[in-house]
Amino acid sequence: AGVMLVPERKTEDGFEEHFGLNYLGHFLLTNLLLDTLKQSGTHSHNARIITVSSATHYVGKLHLNDLQSRCSYSPHGAYAQSKLALVLFTYRLQHLLTANGSHVTANVVDPGVVNTELYKHVFWVVKAVKWMTAWLFFK
């Protein structure tokens, strides 16, 4: 599950929606499954954690004093921050898994331009440019 560029709103638990769904939900699920994954990985076949992020994380800034974007809300900034947090979590998790000799790998990927409902909150001009670019370059 994930969201992109939604208007300012909160999850049922009171978190900024991008951060709650794109980061906290994945963080929680990964940690709930981690012991099972560690038990299922073997020397010849690692268990895998694949996290889907976005190249947008490159422009993200992690505001540790304002993870909920209360000071100033921007849909793009909130989305980028959530994806940056996810990338940093995955990098740190892989470091810890390696240090502990675990047979689990954690990877983060950017799927590129895909046809999903994530773009429903994007201005129509941006949608048109995105789809034309995808049609021309990513066939």
Confidence of residue 7 (pLDDT cuts 50, 70, 90): confident
Indicate which CATH number applies to the domain containing 57.
3.40.50.720
Question: What's the pLDDT score for residue 113?
Answer: 65
**3 within some domain:** no
Confidence of residue 122 (pLDDT cuts 50, 70, 90): low
**47 within some domain:** yes
- Report how many domains make up the chain: 1
Active site residue 79: yes
Would you tell me how many other CB atoms lie within 10 Å of the CB of residue 52?
Answer: 14
H or E element at residue 108: strand 104-109
pLDDT tops 60 at residue 118: no
Q: What would the mean pLDDT of 92-114 be, rounded to a whole number? A: 92
Q: pTM of the prediction? A: 0.79
Confidence of residue 39 (pLDDT cuts 50, 70, 90): very high
**122 within some domain:** yes
H or E element at residue 25: helix 25-40
**84 within some domain:** yes
Name 122's Cβ contacts closer than 8 Å, sequence gap at least 6. 4, 5, 130
Selected catalytic residue, list 73, 79, 91, 119: 79
Domain residues for the domain of 61 are 17-137
How far is the CA of 57 from the CAs of 11, 26, 42, 79, 110, in angstroms?
Answer: 21, 16, 32, 8, 10
The alpha-carbon radius of gyration of the chain (Å, integer) is 17
Q: What would the mean pLDDT of 51-78 be, rounded to a whole number? A: 84
**6 within some domain:** no
